């Protein structure tokens, strides 16, 4: 039985570990926190997972909260005009609902499920020195922890990493009491509010420790009015400041916030990180090679909501590469090939995400405008969040956009 060590207990690491157990691999996961510590800790992310990633969870018996979780029916886009009112506003429907489950809920539950299915869960932080000693005990070591010392094992790929600093200041709060948008009271959806030159506010229906809720998530242009979190305010002050920013910059969303309160004492987060692609093969002091996955090797800004989806798809891709490899050694060539297989998909997510971080080109402005008048355009854009490879055909290609819009 082949022995695999996965360092990191997030979406990618736990999904891969759980699916490998189905094939009787001897899998060990190392997590810095116990399931109960995860549940009682601070929120870790936003997330909105779309059909393809969700179906993988269903196929492997991992969709444990679907019955309780609100279904996200679509995505709405609003753009603020110079007068502060909405210059553009529309709602596009997903072909199949999306979901957002607080990672405190999911990762704690999956960690417990992993042990129930015969996996070994070790609660311990891991340094490079630790991993250097452990690696010889396993046929394959995968690093799935996107933060911390181990990320330094993987060199930045300058040819695929155009940014050297964070492109957004991030801040969020999980809340109860947000009223529905009056235009679509019976169709819960993500709201994508754009304030040109300032940033974006996403409103995401979600499920957390205390039931269904909403996530208020700001992405602020560095140096602008949304970049105001360096003092790391306490949760109540964080929510108050965030609501002040909603009132100032997206007042149509503030109208929904009269009864808003935090879901729990750990329901706020602020920070930022530099989007980066890293080389997938890291080398330990011993000379032993380890494989990076998901955010370790491809970390995109969350503006396109692809983090959990990409992590899930990376786990699916790596699973296929591992199973197909049989009993052969997991050498550097195999590791590079496993990443290249995933990159065939992930490159499209990275290109699309990086494009949204800059001012929109004219053809994108035309697409968003056409979506307000043509349901088919809105629907194609919204469903691209499930399959971002479609965007290369039109959203990222001025000629393709012109050709597509001419057919309307």
Q: Where is 353: in which H helix or E strand? A: helix 332-356
Nearest to 69 by CA among 207, 188, 187, 263: 207
Q: Which two tokens stand for residue 386?
A: 């499930």
User: Rounded to 10 degrees, what is the CA torsion of 169, 170, 175, 179?
Assistant: 70
Distance from C-alpha of 251 to C-alpha of 180, rounded to nearest angstrom: 14
Query: How are beta strands 211-220 and 169-176 bridged, if at all?
Result: antiparallel
**3-state helix/strand/coil string of 41-78:** CCCCCCCCECHHHHHHHHHCCCCCCCCCCCCEEEEEEE
| Separation of alpha carbons 281 and 262, rounded Å | 41
> In the structure, how many helices (H) and strands (E) does the chain have?
12, 16
Per-residue pLDDT of the chain (408 residues; tens, 9 = 90+): 899 999 999 999 999 999 999 999 999 999 999 999 999 999 999 999 999 999 999 999 999 999 999 999 999 999 999 998 999 999 999 999 999 999 999 999 999 999 999 999 999 999 999 999 999 999 999 999 988 899 999 999 999 999 999 999 999 999 999 999 888 777 899 999 999 999 999 999 999 999 999 999 999 999 999 999 999 999 999 999 999 999 999 999 999 999 999 999 999 999 999 999 999 999 999 999 999 999 999 999 999 999 999 999 999 999 999 999 999 999 999 999 999 999 999 999 999 999 999 999 999 999 999 999 999 999 999 999 999 999 999 999 999 999 999 999
What Rg value do the Cα atoms of the chain yield, rounded?
Answer: 21
- Count of Cβ atoms closer than 10 Å to residue 83 Cβ: 7
Q: Are 399 and 363 in contact (CB under 8 A)?
A: no
Domains of the chain: 3-61+102-163+274-356 (3.50.50.60), 72-100+166-271 (3.30.9.40), 362-405 (no CATH)
């Amino acid at each position: 039985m082949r022995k695999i060590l996965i360092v990191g207990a997030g979406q990618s690491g736990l999904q891969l570990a759980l699916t490998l157990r189905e094939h009787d691999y001897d899998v060990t996961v190392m997590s810095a926190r116990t399931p109960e510590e995860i549940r009682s800790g601070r929120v870790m992310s936003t997330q909105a997972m779309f059909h393809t990633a969700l179906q993988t969870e269903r196929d492997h018996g991992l969709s444990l909260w679907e019955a309780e979780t609100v279904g996200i029916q679509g995505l709405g886009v609003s753009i603020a005009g110079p007068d502060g009112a909405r210059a553009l506003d529309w709602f596009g429907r997903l072909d199949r609902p999306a979901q957002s489950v607080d990672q405190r809920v999911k990762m704690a539950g999956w960690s417990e499920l992993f042990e129930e299915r015969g996996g070994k869960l070790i609660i311990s932080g891991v340094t490079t020195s630790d991993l250097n000693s452990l690696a010889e005990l396993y046929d394959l070591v995968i690093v799935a922890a996107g933060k911390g010392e181990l990320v330094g094992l993987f060199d930045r790929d300058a040819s695929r990493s155009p940014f050297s600093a964070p492109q957004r200041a991030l801040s969020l709060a999980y809340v109860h009491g947000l009223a529905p948008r009056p235009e679509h009271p019976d169709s819960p959806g993500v709201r994508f509010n754009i304030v040109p030159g300032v940033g974006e506010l996403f409103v995401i229906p979600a499920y957390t420790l205390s039931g269904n809720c909403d996530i208020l998530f700001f992405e602020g242009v560095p140096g602008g009015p949304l970049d105001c979190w360096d003092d790391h305010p306490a949760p109540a002050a964080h929510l108050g400041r965030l609501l002040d920013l909603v009132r100032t910059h997206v007042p149509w969303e503030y109208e929904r916030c009269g009864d808003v309160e935090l879901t729990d004492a750990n329901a706020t987060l602020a920070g930022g990180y530099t989007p980066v692609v890293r080389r997938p093969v890291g080398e330990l002091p011993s000379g032993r090679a380890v494989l990076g996955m998901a955010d370790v090797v491809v970390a995109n800004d969350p503006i396109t909501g692809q983090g959990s989806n990409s992590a899930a798809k990376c786990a699916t891709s790596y699973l296929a590469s591992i199973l197909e490899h049989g009993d052969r050694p997991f050498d550097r060539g195999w590791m590079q090939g496993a990443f290249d297989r995933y990159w065939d998909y992930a490159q499209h997510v990275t290109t699309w995400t990086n494009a949204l971080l800059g001012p929109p080109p004219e053809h994108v402005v035309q697409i968003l405008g056409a979506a307000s008048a043509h349901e088919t355009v809105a629907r194609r854009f919204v469903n691209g969040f499930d399959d971002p490879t479609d965007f290369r055909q039109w959203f990222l290609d001025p000629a393709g956009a012109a050709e597509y819009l001419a057919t309307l």
